[in-house]
Structure 1
Amino acid sequence: MTEVLVPVHRHHITTDDPDVAAAHQAAYGRFRHEPVPREGFAFGLDAAFAGPLGISRLRHTARFRARVDPLDGVVVVEVVGGGVRVATTGHDTSGPVMLAPHWSPHTVRWEGVDLRLTTLDQAEVGRVGAEVSGLDPTAVVFGSMTPRSPALARYWSELVDHVDRALLPDDELMSSPLVRGEALRQLAVGVLLVFPNSTLGDRQAEGPGTAQPATIRRAVAFMDAHAQEDITLGQIAAAARIGPRGLQAAFRRHREQSPLDYLRRTRMERAHDDLRSGDPTRGDTVGIIAARWGFANAGRFAVEYRQRYGCSPRETLRR
């Protein structure tokens, strides 16, 4: 007897309340965002979820800035209108098709957008990646937000078009385990083909920001989680399950920086986020924010900040 699955779950939301919009956006990830202007604001979301896969259309008219925690699933972002910038430590990307960096915290910025979001269960992508590569599912990892070529980016959009228009609208089709399973497999194979990852071999996946050894991923996760604390190289190495010298060598080879360089850059980015969301009328100052992230010398902090962001920390705080 053929198993019958629950039909596709569909959601349609429109609102002019930024707080309601943020609550619905939270379904895609945990984030901390700057205040969204209320005047003239409009938000719309049309989403369809079938088990471990979903396709959504999100429209947001206002300026949006947010710090996003690592995502629980694999999310591919297609920019239908407007523009989006996604930044991780050392990498700042925009484009028509991007893989949201589920392997690290990141910042998202836009001034009004129309997006199509494809979400896939990460364990299912790992399972499919193991089938096609022979790797263990836990070794199927991504690290780059950018498609391997413009042609593959177009291929992804065409693949999602097929699932979005021919399959998801049809409850009868999507109630079939075979149809739903094949749709998921097509999308999982597609994301593995389009974005650099460990199933493609070292040549396609190597380089800063791409899939990297587990020791580096553990070290990065530890530093991201404890950036506001007084952590040492020894503690980072212990979290990565490797010696300090080995960790430094791994970072030089795969990221072209030291672990402590990464940590300092992360703290600078966190300070930048706090400056952008800060309010001098509430008592926020450059010195307080810099000290919060371990920059005791305000003058040196200001020099490094200007080199990285092209303006002074005081200018950012007062915007």
Structure 2
Amino acid sequence: MQLRTSTIDTIPQDDVTVSTYRFTELGPVGIGEVAFTGELRLECDDVGTGFYAHLPLAGRYRSWHRGLDMIGDRSATPLQRPGAPFAGHWTAGYRALCVRMEPAVVEDAWTRMGGSNRPVYSPILNTADGYGRAWAELLFSITRQLAAPGNLLAQPLVAAPLADSLVTAFVLATTPEMPAAPSRPVSVRAAIDVIESDPSSPLTLSLLASHCGVSPRALQKAFQQHVGMSPMEYVRDVRLRRAHEELRAADPFADSVAAVARRWGFAHLGRFAAAHEARFGQKPLRTLRG
């Protein structure tokens, strides 16, 4: 995972100046800071492909999304979800941290935590207490680190687990009905640990079953029952996710979609492109070009 940061001083928008001090991609999580020197109103037919949340630092804003009229301030903020119109009204002097997360990554976190049914997300992210406050504090800590000399997040071994923690905490904060503690069999959890730790290795059903001390048939049945897919489908899904993350972090002038696909075991470029678009909502070349 590479850390990508960009800075824009000012963007004039009619009578409003939007100042973006910093925008950083921490793997699948985008973190930005914005400030409006004047009042701003915005409407769009589709909020986009990701989950969006503003954490106001000063001022507040009003949001119309999915039939709800909501106010965002330092104690609670509306959550924008993909695939629906959005309208917003920001007061002059508004300043906030902005967070974007890809749906596929959020859903992966839900599944890893034991969720089986489709999660129901709260329209409001409560940042005054509970998991929401803990998530906001984690975000503030990461933001402070981004501005610190000797930024630790430039180290992939630090950035990757922090990004995962931010996504997992987001799921805890936004899903009122959390799944029960994982009830998956030991064999399934052990196989998932092997796959997640080194998905690029030559994994097979027999190898995974042998590692977990069960028969291939038993592991296959357990995965279908508790994960909703076969072990090798899970391997393919993890590899696709890792390839997507690498495309986001890669230099489009030094790398290619084909090279990344091959590194993650996808020999047929057309099938890889189709699977990537179905999973992440865009062609891999667009992801590579940012």
Bucket of the pairwise TM-score, normalised by the shorter protein: 0.5 to 0.7
User: Does the residue aligned with 2:140 lie in a helix, a strand or coil?
Assistant: helix
Deviation at 1:58, TM superposition (A): 0.4
Partners of 2:57 and 2:95 within 8 A in 1 = yes
- Corresponding residue for residue 15 of structure 2: 37
User: Does the residue aligned with 1:191 lie in a helix, a strand or coil?
Assistant: helix
User: Does the residue aligned with 1:157 lie in a helix, a strand or coil?
Assistant: helix
- Which amino acid is 1:76 matched to? A
- Corresponding residue for residue 17 of structure 1: 12
- Corresponding residue for residue 169 of structure 2: 190
Aligned residues: percent identity?
Answer: 18
Partners of 1:101 and 1:145 within 8 A in 2 = no
Partners of 1:70 and 1:105 within 8 A in 2 = yes
Q: What does 1:193-208 align with in structure 2 at a 5 Å threshold?
A: 193-196=172-175, 199-200=178-179
Deviations, residues 72-99 of structure 1 (Å, cap 9, x unaligned): 1222210011111111243111132424
Partners of 1:140 and 1:197 within 8 A in 2 = no
User: Does the residue aligned with 2:124 lie in a helix, a strand or coil?
Assistant: coil
Partners of 1:58 and 1:116 within 8 A in 2 = yes
* Residue 65 of structure 2 corresponds to residue 65 of structure 1: no
- Corresponding residue for residue 126 of structure 1: 107
Deviations, residues 140-169 of structure 1 (Å, cap 9, x unaligned): 342412328644443222111222223675
Q: What does 1:131-150 align with in structure 2 at a 5 Å threshold?
A: 131-135=112-116, 139-147=118-126, 150=129
Q: How many residues align?
A: 175
- Which amino acid is 2:169 matched to? G
Residues of 2 paired with 1:149 and 1:200: CA distance? 23
CA RMSD of aligned residues (A): 2.8
Partners of 2:4 and 2:24 within 8 A in 1 = yes
Unaligned 5+ segments in structure 1 are: 19-35, 202-319
- Corresponding residue for residue 86 of structure 2: 106
Of 4, 9, 24, 1:48 maps to: 24
User: Does the residue aligned with 1:133 lie in a helix, a strand or coil?
Assistant: coil
- Which amino acid is 2:163 matched to? L
- Which amino acid is 1:83 matched to? R
- Which amino acid is 2:124 matched to? M
Give the direction of change, closer, same or farther, for the CA distance of 1:120–1:171 in structure 2 (3 Å limit). farther
User: Does the residue aligned with 1:17 lie in a helix, a strand or coil?
Assistant: strand
Partners of 2:19 and 2:35 within 8 A in 1 = yes
Partners of 2:8 and 2:22 within 8 A in 1 = yes
Deviation at 1:195, TM superposition (A): 1.7
Residues of 2 paired with 1:149 and 1:177: CA distance? 31
Give the direction of change, closer, same or farther, for the CA distance of 1:170–1:43 in structure 2 (3 Å limit). closer
Deviation at 1:131, TM superposition (A): 0.7
Deviation at 1:115, TM superposition (A): 0.8
- Corresponding residue for residue 221 of structure 2: none
User: Does the residue aligned with 1:48 lie in a helix, a strand or coil?
Assistant: strand
The structure in which a higher percent of residues are strand is 2
The structure in which a higher percent of residues are helix is 1
Partners of 2:77 and 2:127 within 8 A in 1 = no
Residues of 2 paired with 1:37 and 1:48: CA distance? 27
Deviations, residues 105-142 of structure 1 (Å, cap 9, x unaligned): 22111122101012222211110110102326xx2342
Residues of 2 paired with 1:77 and 1:134: CA distance? 26
Q: What does 1:152-163 align with in structure 2 at a 5 Å threshold?
A: 152-163=131-142
Residues of 1 paired with 2:127 and 2:151: CA distance? 35
Q: Which has the higher contact order (CA 8 A, sep 6+)?
A: 2
Partners of 2:20 and 2:32 within 8 A in 1 = no
